[in-house]
Structure 1
Amino acid sequence: MKEGRKRFVAELRKQLRELQDLCQLNPAESFIGLDEMNRIYRIVHTIKGSAPMFGFVRIGSVAEKLVHQWEWIQESEALALPAASVIQRYQASVLNGDGLRRQLSMELDVYSHELELDEEQEHRSKTSGYSSSSRLLVIDDDDVLRSYLVRRLRLEGYEVDDTSTVEGAQRLLREHSYELITLDLMMHPQSGYALFEFVKEDPTLKWVPLVVLSGRDDLHDKIRCFYLGADDYVTKPFEYEELSARIYSLLKRTKNFEQMAFRDPLTGVYNRRFFDHQIQVELKRVSRYPASISMVFIDIDRFKCINDKHGHHVGDIVLQGMAHMLQKHLRATDLLARFGGEEFVVVLPGTSAVDAKKAIHAILQQAHKEPVAQYEGQAYYITFSAGVCEWSEGMELEDWIKRADGAMYTAKQSGRNQVLLYEEGMTTTILASPESGLQRKKVLIADDDRILRSILISKLQHLPIDFVEAADGLEALDKMTQQFFHLCILDGVMPRLDGIEVLEKLGARTNRAEGLQVLLLSGRSREEDVSRALELGIEAYMHKPFSMVELEVKVKQLLKLV
């Protein structure tokens, strides 16, 4: 059909040009032969018959009016008239049909544009995945309509499941993930309304677009459906093309929202927000259909050195390359997310801890062989440390995450560049906060101003942070060399050692612990202090007095709490 429509448009363009030539009124030669007039009639008659077959209804309608203008040519009585009368009728047909010929040209332009848009939409569907990767659920107790919708949607490249009952829909929604649902309201024995609560109260389904198909064009029904969470309402009977466009638009919008809300903007893999959502889906699936499932925490080794030596722009390229390498070697069913900083988490459904370790170790071996990134002719190789933990029945999600992270942390502490299975007693850097659901961070506040330390803790205590205080530079240095901190808020001017001296000695002693971020506060605005602090690798600098709102924003950014 698509190819036929394209050929019809091309042929119609030629036919209209020929009509234009045949209908030119020349004062010096105001009459054409009978063969030419018959040719005009045959052209418009052909257009009238063919256009509706290819869906060009408006063109067929205009052509039918033109046929009436030239019908007289087929009447033998008319051709027996004197030549002057025939010429007069010819000229009248040309003049009366002028507007219709222009209308045909305009309709041709419109349909040509529509065909171009259809091809663009088809290309977008193939390249963006709005069709080929989208799974739809059609719920309708009208067997004929349901079968028709399923066939048409599948022709467009969608994967489609269907059912005639609410009970069947609930079963399918538990077993599969869908990108969009079409729901008939008037079904038996349960109406479509019975499914609204099931869909919109399930956290794994509440964001799935829902299109209501109803035989009732009732305002009360429409309002009720939209209040209950419907995304669109289409009244039967409907044109399939309109429904298809609505579905495409909803899927496109949902994909765009997902890209903004659930994707890490730097690497393109899923973010922590999506991980928190999807891990619940995976655990629910395992509870219904028991199977192995493993979690892996992955952390790039010595990533801070890459940033310090080559710059953050190279660090970003390395992160992108790492994400690509993981995606390339993981299965489509595996869940990959950036957990924060240089840390990634992978969930492998249907996989034991031993098999998960083998899969991740194979990726580590690949990292030894090929660079994850290239920049300005230089290749960058990395290694990573990974911890694997298999979920067991009764295990809390919080404990599962802590164990996988603990195995990864042990891998880093025992030499890096390895994949370890979790064993009892492995420590972890993640302390979960039941209230917030976010990992807790450890922050050192090093400032000789006791009141300022108290204010900082008071203003930041609503965040998932555990605070440690230091009253001078020497105490701060001792604490940072003895224990791990995610962030140090460091005063530039302190007794015994000032902030710059602390950074210098810390770098000489430990080469700056991996993962430690430094926010330097100073009442001095000397440019050389700022330059020296940046050379020593601080992540942020604020001059006293500063805005507490701005400080909180910086702390959240540095701790990846945004």
Structure 2
Amino acid sequence: MVNLDKYKSILFEKIKNQLTEWFEMNPSNEVDQEEVNRFLHSLKGTSGTLQLGGLEQIASQLMLVAENREVSWKVEELRDFLYELIGLSYEYEHFHEIEEKPTINRDESLPLIQVIDDDVSMLILLKDALEEQGWMVITNTEPTKATKNYFDMHPDCLIVDINLPTKSGFELLQELQSHNSKKFIPTIVISIENNRNSRIKAYQLGADDFIKKPIDIEEFIVRVNRHLRRKQLFDQSVLIDELTQVYNRKFLEDSFNRSTNELKRLNTYFTIAVLDLDFFKKVNDTYGHIAGDRVLASFAQFLNDSTRSSDTVFRYGGEEFIILFPRTRDYEAKEVLTRLIEKFSKIEFKENGQSFFVTFSAGVFMVLDGNIDLKSAIKTADQALYMAKENGRARVESANSLQHGMKKKVLNVSVIDDDAIIRTMLMKILKSMEFDHIELDIEVFEDGLKYFESKRNDKKGQHFLILDGVMPVMDGIEVLQKVKQSKNANQYHILMLTGRKSDQDIASALKLGADDYVTKPFSITELQARINLLINRMK
């Protein structure tokens, strides 16, 4: 029997070359209709011969559409037209590597779990097991980066190994303990050291559970799920934010619904304001997250003391707060908040002998429709907040008075991968994604050298790289290393694409500062969800 694998590889290489020619090396931005017909006709015949039935079927269906077309194709239009075929090509090419697992649809509301372990093989094992449950997972091998991610990402569950480089898991827990005393985050210690003293010390430092290695994955999942359920019940039952002592987002929903019901019954308008501390990340980075917590608590107290008894202050998350102003027009709320900005900016904070001052920005939205939901109202006010940030910070903008077509902030997204099928799929995925305040400027590159030669890295603003770990000329680790050594390294957010067996590459990527990794072959749905999560979590 003839071995068809060689010829299948040739076919996939032909597809990649054609995609590169059409979508990346085409100055006219158009593709002749007959050229597309010939490509599909050839693909149908070859895939049928090579017993690639699914590919043959899709090529046949596309041919029926393409043959009746009389005009040339725009590149963007053709990419959309061929997307299903491109995706199936990727799955066929990597079929022998794909593990059988259920399709998982995720959104931002799902739990976020942080796993800290310097054993990369264990990290991969636990990450895969947790993500099979539909949970989002961030991983770290190095304690300093782990601490930063803990405070920046606000995980719903922390899993930490005792044996870590530079500092032990016990030292890490001690460092986080003061934060945990203000917010309930279930903490699980994992360790090969399953002795009585280690268990007692872990519980003394705030651990909720202790799991010995080697880990029984089935039991591990059950125990993690139990802790996540406890956190969910806790969050739903508590109405006061423990750190700031103002109302939390649970009570916000109830209060907003009462306001809209009153609006429907009595036609009494109200205004919702979204407030955000300016450059708060710099406070955390300069003075530490504990100092940042003190600023948050002081800010909340300031808002409570400076607003009317009928106004309600909520902590929405992180450094974001919301105020409901009953029977208040947007311009009235704007005047109040403008005065508060001036007053708060004069408050002096002191940490380690240093003084600093903090300001905030705000967006307001007067609610006139009692049928609007909380999410839509916050989104509208948040758009005004975004404009306040863009217009210089320490100011207030009203969504009601803003003109249509607010300018979005540009995020430079670069895909660097030597596989044309992956580049094409990712371009399609990214172009289909929409964000409230961010416009994606997307480019693709087949290797790191071409990326740097393009001077793309010199563009102003934030950068999001989707980076293949293994490439010719300059591999992903080299690209990551060069980016992280640049003067604007803090503007980069990086998602690594890596092979399942590349433990060393994953370890190097995480240590060099990659924000996350996805193993190849990947589920398109999974990858899109992860990209969406990372972009939405950017400050």
Q: TM-score, normalised by structure 2?
A: 0.41
Quick check: which one's helix share is greater?
A: 1
Q: Which has the larger radius of gyration?
A: 1
Q: TM-score, normalised by structure 1?
A: 0.40
